[in-house]
Amino acid sequence: MEHAAPGLEYVMTVHLTMVPGSLTRITDLPGGGARWSINVGGGSFEGPALKGRVLPGGIENPHFRPDNVLMINARWLLETDDGERIYVQNRGIRRAYHDPAKMTAWMTKSAAVTASDFYFRVAPVFETSSGKYDWLTRFLFVGMLIDADKTGQALPGPSMRYFKVL
């Protein structure tokens, strides 16, 4: 019996723009931590088979646990250059590799985020009625944080690279 790991195929890179000042602590949760909310103001995406913009109006509602781990829960809408719409729901995890204070700094001060500082993985689910892009509804995908900027400045939102699991 072969135990080969599944392969990955690059699909696209997404750059999100978050609405400045929209980070809000919603509620404390039983067992600790808090639920937050931050609005997606837009963005862009591009890959070999699709390209377009992230529409304003998406939202992220992460659970920031007491152990400094952020449980990602995000929903937003892509619009391809040819006018098709693709709903995206990301569930995942984000934590600092070495310094848990980096998570708090990011949550409270919009500190710069680099991929070398954080384990950040999501499992997106795509929905679309477009025949051209319905292949997105027939595979599993994984996404990861990337560095879209090398200046060390806080970016308007995360940039993620997505892969189809083969």
99 within some domain: yes
Could you give phi then psi for residue 105, rounded to 5 degrees?
-60, -40
The pLDDT value recorded for residue 107 is 65
For residue 153, is pLDDT > 60?
no
Cα separation, 56 vs 35, whole angstroms: 21
1 within some domain: no
**Nearest 10 degrees: CA dihedral of 130, 89, 93, 147?**
60
- By DSSP bridging, strand 118-127 and strand 85-96 are antiparallel
User: Which domain, by its residues, includes 115?
Assistant: 8-165
pTM for this prediction: 0.89
In this structure, what CATH number is given to the domain that contains residue 108?
Answer: 2.40.160.20
127 within some domain: yes
Length of the chain: 166
68 within some domain: yes
Please count the structural domains in the chain: 1
- pLDDT (tens digit per residue) in 10-69: 999 999 998 888 888 999 988 889 999 999 999 999 999 999 999 999 999 999 999 889
Contact 140, 6 (CB under 8 A): no
